[in-house]
């Protein structure tokens, strides 16, 4: 191993190869569920240095685990005895091009910093989630992250025009296209985005930007049922021409967990309600954003009109519309705290499923009945990106036995797939969901995936033990 460490130090410099206590910050995942001791942590500063690192690893047949912000929830950075390849020094926003509405960025750029760089030019990179202060470009591309704005802008894959990738043997694949249309062969970009570092190391990207909203309208809404919530979503989409950016479900049980961890916080309503929704709509057009003679913003008027109609019909039970940025931030904080609440207890059975929009309530009814039988002492930590059918059905089990926890996960998978859903929506597979891949993924699809892996990583060194079932 000393030969490998020496070759790595020659490739990137002594100070960029960390071992022992210096590597400790990279020795566990964000959830605290996985711990490991890497051979070393290598922190290259350029694509050329990443290429040199991969050549060393390829020749030595050493496993390499790429890591960015390390905010994943599926154990995707587990790296016992491996070279951890941290992209954190490759953190430059190379260009913001307002006319083309693109950003050219390195893989170590933190999402919040990208947000700030885009806003300085009057633009927005419309991917957002609670870990935006630490999540990096390479990580959210590698997991095809989702977040709260998928409803309007799509997953990460929909926001990428081009990427640069270092392959297992150190070759650099330049796919840094700025084109919206390119039909020149297989879409290798989409293959790499979401591959969790098992096919190559993403080092740069060309990302789409959108205009900064001129106005937003944000509210907490209590509904009688999730079917009524879907009616609210469809009514708002019709009234605003598809301007709903976020539509997030927070049941009362989640709000109680949030209140326990944030005793200084205020409840969203004076009365408790079983089903609570955070909704935000946004507009760039002056006709929707320009205040009227009495200061009224048309966009807010659209929201209040739809809510008023549904209050009259009894499908909306209560609603609070944010009147200023501080109130809007309070509403968002309540939802974006989900990640930190999720990891506040271990063990957890962390399910991240998706079902068709009109099947979310069916899934929850069925699964809640099964959970009551499987584990009467379990506590459910549930939130949902309701607008795209993504349900974070996390269980804190009454019995921590791994066999019992796996039985809960299997039950969730069964109910989701029975409704035409998926056992993984946005968190990726990593280590945690490899058993799910073996149980649930189409066998022909798994064979095709393994063939691609073997072709692009013939020595099996890129993030081994992740994604692909044995």
CATH number of the 2-86 domain: 3.30.43.10
Q: Is 2 a residue whose pLDDT tops 80? A: no
Looking at residue 461, its pLDDT comes to 98
Does the domain at 93-211 match CATH 1.10.10.10? Answer given as: no
Looking at residue 212, its pLDDT comes to 96
Start and end residues for every CATH 3.30.70.2190 domain found in the chain: 215-338
Quick one: average pLDDT of 374-393?
Answer: 95
Start and end residues for every CATH 3.30.465.10 domain found in the chain: 93-211
Which CB contacts under 8 angstroms, 24+ apart, belong to 171-179? 171/51, 172/47, 172/51, 172/203, 173/200, 176/104, 176/204, 176/205, 176/206, 177/206, 178/100, 178/102, 178/206
Looking at residue 345, its pLDDT comes to 87
The secondary structure of 87-143, three-state, reads: CCCCCCEEEEECCCCEEEEECCCEHHHHHHHHHCCCEECCCCCCCCCCCEHHHHHHC
Cα 165 to chain centroid distance, Å, stands at 21
Measured CA to CA, the distance from residue 386 to residue 214 in angstroms comes to 25
Query: Could you tell me the CA-to-CA distances from 63 to 20, 292, 338 in Å, in that order?
Result: 18, 62, 33
Looking at residue 83, its pLDDT comes to 98
Start and end residues for every CATH 3.30.70.2740 domain found in the chain: 345-442
Measured CA to CA, the distance from residue 251 to residue 368 in angstroms comes to 13
Please report which residue ranges of 241-324 form alpha helices under DSSP H: 252-261, 286-289, 298-313
Query: Could you tell me the CA-to-CA distances from 330 to 307, 320, 448 in Å, in that order?
Result: 20, 12, 46
Looking at residue 346, its pLDDT comes to 85
Start and end residues for every CATH 3.30.43.10 domain found in the chain: 2-86
pLDDT one-digit tens code per residue, 218-237 = 999 999 999 999 999 999 99
Quick one: average pLDDT of 176-205?
Answer: 96
Kindly indicate the confidence band of residue 434, based on its pLDDT and cuts at 50, 70 and 90.
very high
With pLDDT > 90 as the criterion, what percentage of the chain qualifies? 92
Q: Is 344 a residue whose pLDDT tops 90? A: no
pLDDT one-digit tens code per residue, 79-101 = 999 999 999 999 999 999 999 99
Measured CA to CA, the distance from residue 83 to residue 4 in angstroms comes to 10
Measured CA to CA, the distance from residue 217 to residue 235 in angstroms comes to 15
Looking at residue 31, its pLDDT comes to 84
| Phi, psi (deg, nearest 5) at residue 237 | -65, -40
Q: Is 130 a residue whose pLDDT tops 90? A: no
| Phi, psi (deg, nearest 5) at residue 136 | -115, 160
Kindly indicate the confidence band of residue 438, based on its pLDDT and cuts at 50, 70 and 90.
very high
pLDDT one-digit tens code per residue, 11-62 = 999 999 999 999 999 999 888 889 999 999 999 999 999 999 999 999 999 9
Looking at residue 376, its pLDDT comes to 96
Looking at residue 313, its pLDDT comes to 93
Looking at residue 32, its pLDDT comes to 84
Kindly indicate the confidence band of residue 342, based on its pLDDT and cuts at 50, 70 and 90.
confident
Q: Domain 215-338: which topology?
A: Alpha-Beta Plaits (3.30.70)
Quick one: average pLDDT of 290-300?
Answer: 89
- The DSSP bridge pattern shows strands 40-42 and 83-86 to be parallel
Measured CA to CA, the distance from residue 311 to residue 314 in angstroms comes to 5
Q: Which range among 154-168, 182-196, 226-240, 283-297 shows the weakest confidence by mean pLDDT?
A: 283-297
Q: Cis (ω within 30 of 0) for the bond into 347? A: yes
Single pTM value for the model: 0.94
- Beta-bridged to residue 208, according to DSSP, are 102
Closest CA to 128 of 357, 338, 321: 338
Quick one: average pLDDT of 443-468?
Answer: 97
Q: Is 294 a residue whose pLDDT tops 90? A: no
Query: Could you tell me the CA-to-CA distances from 292 to 44, 215, 231, 284 in Å, in that order?
Result: 54, 13, 29, 16
The CA-based angle 423-220-309, given to 5 degrees, is 105
Quick one: average pLDDT of 140-160?
Answer: 94
Average pLDDT across the chain, whole number: 95
Q: Is 296 a residue whose pLDDT tops 90? A: no
Measured CA to CA, the distance from residue 406 to residue 143 in angstroms comes to 23
Q: Is 1 a residue whose pLDDT tops 80? A: no
Does the domain at 345-442 match CATH 3.40.50.11540? Answer given as: no
Cα 427 to chain centroid distance, Å, stands at 6
């Amino acid at each position: 191993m000393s030969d490998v460490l020496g070759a790595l130090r020659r490739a990137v410099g002594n100070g960029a190869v960390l071992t022992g206590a210096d590597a400790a910050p990279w020795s566990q995942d964000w959830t605290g569920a996985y711990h490991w001791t890497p051979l070393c942590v290598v922190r290259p500063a350029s694509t050329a240095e990443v290429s040199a690192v991969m050549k060393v690893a390829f020749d030595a047949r050493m496993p390499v685990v790429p890591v960015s912000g390390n905010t994943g929830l599926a154990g995707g950075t587990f790296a016992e005895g491996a070279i951890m390849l941290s992209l954190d020094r490759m953190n430059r926003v190379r260009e913001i091009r307002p006319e083309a509405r693109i950003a050219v960025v390195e893989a170590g750029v933190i999402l919040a910093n990208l947000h700030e760089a885009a806003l300085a030019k009057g633009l927005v990179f419309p991917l957002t989630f609670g870990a935006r202060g630490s999540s990096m470009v390479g990580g959210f591309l590698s997991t095809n992250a989702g977040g709260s704005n998928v409803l309007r802008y799509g997953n990460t894959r929909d926001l990428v025009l081009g990427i640069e990738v270092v392959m297992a043997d150190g070759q650099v694949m330049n796919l840094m296209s700025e084109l919206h249309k390119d039909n020149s062969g297989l879409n290798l970009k989409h293959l790499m985005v979401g591959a969790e570092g098992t096919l190559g190391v993403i080092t740069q990207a060309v990302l789409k930007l959108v205009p900064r909203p001129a106005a937003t309208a944000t509210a907490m809404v209590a509904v009688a049922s999730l079917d009524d919530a879907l009616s609210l979503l469809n009514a708002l989409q019709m009234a605003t021409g598809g301007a709903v950016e976020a539509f997030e479900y927070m049941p009362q049980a989640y709000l109680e967990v949030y209140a326990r961890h944030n005793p200084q916080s205020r409840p969203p309503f004076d009365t408790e309600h079983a089903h609570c929704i955070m909704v935000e709509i946004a507009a760039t057009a002056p006709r929707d954003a320009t205040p009227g003679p009495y200061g009224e913003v048309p966009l807010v008027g659209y929201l209040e009109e739809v809510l008023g109609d549904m209050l009259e019909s009894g499908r909306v039970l209560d609603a609070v519309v944010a009147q200023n940025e501080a109130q809007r931030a309070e509403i968002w904080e309540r939802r974006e705290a989900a990640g930190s609440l999720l990891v506040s207890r271990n063990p957890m059975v962390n399910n991240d499923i998706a079902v068709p929009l009109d099947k979310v309530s069916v899934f929850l009814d069925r699964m809640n009945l099964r959970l009551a039988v499987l584990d009467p002492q379990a506590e459910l930590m549930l939130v949902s990106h309701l607008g795209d059918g993504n349900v974070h059905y996390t269980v804190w089990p009454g019995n921590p036995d791994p066999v019992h926890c796996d039985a809960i996960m299997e039950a969730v998978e069964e109910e989701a797939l029975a409704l035409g859903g998926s056992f993984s929506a946005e968190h990726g597979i990593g280590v945690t969901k490899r058993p799910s891949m073996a149980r649930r993924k189409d066998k022909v699809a798994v064979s095709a995936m393994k063939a691609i892996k073997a072709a692009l990583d013939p020595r099996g060194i890129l993030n081994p033990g992740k994604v692909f079932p044995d």
